[in-house]
Structure 1
């Protein structure tokens, strides 16, 4: 089919000042966000005008965000983070925005200072890259006071705040439910490291809860996060009734697919994607937790943990690692020892493979399903802890 192409200059030249008087309702769809595609093909999530604006305003729950704020973002505008929490959030406030066209770790803080930004938006991968780019003494002077971010590993959190002299305000959302959860308490002592906080606008009819495998609510503990409330989420996936029926239950709750821990005070902590929980001899292991520990090794820039089928234990853990710039090799036994000092024995990776790069989405998220599918076709899964250190359990845990 041939497309009709119109030049903006021609449209403007032929336009007039008459008002088309088009009425817009708050329930009308205003945009379609596509899911990141880390666990499968991206799906379109249409959002209404009201949901879109509530999502944008939810960033304003950060106590330091106000009309004098100047936000810096280098994230792409097709992504909800930049579009909602930077551009539209600042427009709702009448505040300032600095929009960069790419992420440059070395020039990042120079740009922030050049444009006098008071804070910046980030995703977890950017935080890790900035952390490995700069040493304690290498961080340039800058004007940012805090960062609004989703997905900061606990191991990185306090180190990042100290090194870059910023406060971290952790948040959580999904393309389907873009109104934020936020760890936004005005008093820093009451912000819990590792938590993405509580749901914003819970007083406006938004419902959230944690449920177990039988869909029973868990008041405090671990389970899947589900949400409800027509003003806060999409009504369906675009032209995908099967996918819609898989994510919504009979009572209208949308299932996130995220395993979350909720504490006694109502603070939420990300555990892992439900599809990335690794079952090792009947034990549930969070890939996110394993990666957090592996990434804290001084030679490692980034990692990805995936399950590998095992005929006896069901699944074993494989970790892919990318080394920091300038480091060409690492002692695998040192990585196992590093993990053993910080993880239960059944969470220590069995297989390790060094890679030069990861398959990633356009927003820098590792495509773990690609790694997982490729691994299924392989007979050799890389360096094998059981072969190279046969007495590792006794050596590190005194378990024979």
Structure 2
């Protein structure tokens, strides 16, 4: 199996992949495909185009694009010239967009075409009305004084630099000038600022160097990835999971990305069958959507060799037990390059369901008491801490927040709760701050969720804390029911929980919903659930007072 050496930048990585697997397909998107040589050639032209517009090493270049080949092109082009990529969540609107562009000090924005109900250009113009009459490359905006250039992809505007113009400008720059800039970029340099998903509020900018490549090579190694593999990627590329476990890991092995603009269960099944996809990435709820699709059957997905899935234990068990392909479980976060630990392909189903993987090479994990910070022995639950090349450099322009989670000797305090077993596997059990204090007793919401999901009528559950006058806090659970199952009401679910768990763990309130508020990557936004719970309880209280 061919691999590449790892003491590289992202620009080096693509150059090596082009030399090693030049004629192999790197991207399949709709009716188009690009070989690694095609990808590298287009990337070079864009990189030279950016040089022609004066983009310097260390400049922040924001990328607000939907999943598309152009995302790949800019990803590597920005890296080649030593600039810093700032991926922007495609669900962001004016407030979030303004915050990220300002907080990241972005001087250039790559702007995509409209998607669904969002016109990105109009949203940007709402923040910077000066854009409409500006000369391309010379924006002067009051709210975003550092942002000077906007590149448009998929549409034309008299106030932006077009994709074609950037390519044409790149043709006027010599290869020697690009190679000179590439030689000035080091693996230790800042490569990207990923903004966290925002499950608890405004996101923070997580800084990573080019050394992310090392971790992604180790992911590819554990998945036994080969150049013949085809990886179906529907996860959003602005997220570290998709761009790293997807793009970067594939590039270390010359594998092909079959790219989707967004997740659609029916189209996923169709592409798996047509393209003979062998590797699948996703979150637990996405796998359930695929399995519940009317076109789903084992024959239609028989080409899948391995699927990476993480999430609720109850849902993961359904994915593992009801499919013929191998599933791997993992643990990670944006601050640790998306994947810190991963199960092995020869692990048993019970191991995959119950354990969140074994640490990847070069990564250390320890468990500490969340209050004393003393290291705990195997089997004892506490806060998960991570150290190694996968750990972030810090939060951009947030030294206080960085010091709160990252020690001088490199330990990242994740805020996640778990333990390490006698074999060295990690077991994740929730967030330290998510623990619910019911009258002096600690309740892990994941345990409550697992009980609810074990009911045949329940599709998904998420438990949060709500205030209580007597007990300080009690459990409140949001539940999504299975399609085409017998209906069940809140009281019946509470009665079911009473037969399974201690009384103080039983939800005081259950709210049945059609769907959960989530980030684009599928994470449930707990702060929105709390807002919903408070409103529902206030309405309930008001109705009671009227009686």
Q: TM-score range by the shorter chain?
A: 0.7 to 0.9
Change (3 A) 1:382 1:165: farther
Alignment partner, residue 176 of structure 2 = 19
Match of 1:47 among 187, 204, 208: 208
The secondary structure found in structure 2 opposite 1:312 is coil
C-alpha displacement of 1:56: 1.8
C-alpha displacement of 1:343: 2.6
The secondary structure found in structure 1 opposite 2:176 is coil
2: CA distance, partners of 1:18 / 1:331: 67
Alignment partner, residue 271 of structure 1 = 429
Change (3 A) 1:131 1:13: closer
The secondary structure found in structure 2 opposite 1:352 is strand
Change (3 A) 1:364 1:193: closer
2: CA distance, partners of 1:304 / 1:382: 20
Match of 2:320 among 144, 149, 161: 161
C-alpha displacement of 1:303: 2.0
Match of 1:10 among 143, 148, 165: 165
Q: Once structures 1 and 2 are overlaid, which stretch shifts more, 340-349 or 232-241? A: 340-349
1: CA distance, partners of 2:376 / 2:267: 45
Match of 1:105 among 265, 274, 290: 265
Alignment partner, residue 340 of structure 2 = 180
The count of aligned residue pairs is 376
Kindly provide the CA deviation profile for residues 240-299 of structure 1, in whole angstroms up to 9, marking residues without a partner as x.
Answer: 122212222455421101011221221111111122111122222121221222123222
Change (3 A) 1:187 1:310: closer
Give the conservation status (yes or no) of the 8 Å contact 1:63–1:186.
no
Which of the two has greater helix per residue? Answer: 2
Alignment partner, residue 196 of structure 2 = 35
Change (3 A) 1:301 1:382: farther
Query: Cα RMSD (Å) of the superposition?
Result: 2.5
Give the conservation status (yes or no) of the 8 Å contact 1:129–1:301.
no
C-alpha displacement of 1:368: 0.4
1: CA distance, partners of 2:447 / 2:282: 20
Q: Are positions 1:141 and 2:300 aligned together?
A: yes
Q: Are positions 1:330 and 2:485 aligned together?
A: no
Q: Once structures 1 and 2 are overlaid, which stretch shifts more, 266-275 or 328-337? A: 328-337
C-alpha displacement of 1:226: 0.9
Give the conservation status (yes or no) of the 8 Å contact 2:477–2:509.
yes
Change (3 A) 1:308 1:124: same
Change (3 A) 1:108 1:11: closer
Change (3 A) 1:125 1:169: same
Give the conservation status (yes or no) of the 8 Å contact 1:39–1:275.
no
Change (3 A) 1:343 1:261: farther
Match of 1:197 among 357, 370, 377: 357
Change (3 A) 1:44 1:379: same
Q: Are positions 1:311 and 2:469 aligned together?
A: yes
| Structure 2: runs of 5+ lacking an equivalent | 1-139, 142-147, 150-159, 542-547
Alignment partner, residue 211 of structure 1 = 368
Give the conservation status (yes or no) of the 8 Å contact 1:170–1:183.
yes
Q: Once structures 1 and 2 are overlaid, which stretch shifts more, 324-333 or 269-278? A: 324-333
2: CA distance, partners of 1:290 / 1:45: 31
The secondary structure found in structure 2 opposite 1:225 is strand
| Structure 1: runs of 5+ lacking an equivalent | 384-400
User: TM-score, normalized by length of structure 1?
Assistant: 0.86
C-alpha displacement of 1:356: 2.5
Alignment partner, residue 395 of structure 1 = none
Kindly provide the CA deviation profile for residues 173-223 of structure 1, in whole angstroms up to 9, marking residues without a partner as x.
Answer: 11111143111253437844321122101xx3x332000121011112111
Structure number with bigger Rg = 2
Alignment partner, residue 232 of structure 2 = 72
Alignment partner, residue 387 of structure 2 = 228
Kindly provide the CA deviation profile for residues 159-183 of structure 1, in whole angstroms up to 9, marking residues without a partner as x.
Answer: 3223221211011111111143111
Alignment partner, residue 96 of structure 1 = 256
Change (3 A) 1:125 1:281: same
The secondary structure found in structure 2 opposite 1:164 is coil
Change (3 A) 1:301 1:186: closer
2: CA distance, partners of 1:139 / 1:338: 33
Change (3 A) 1:190 1:312: closer
User: TM-score, normalized by length of structure 2?
Assistant: 0.64
C-alpha displacement of 1:358: 2.2
C-alpha displacement of 1:374: 4.6
Change (3 A) 1:366 1:56: same
C-alpha displacement of 1:19: 1.8
1: CA distance, partners of 2:243 / 2:537: 44
Give the conservation status (yes or no) of the 8 Å contact 1:110–1:140.
no
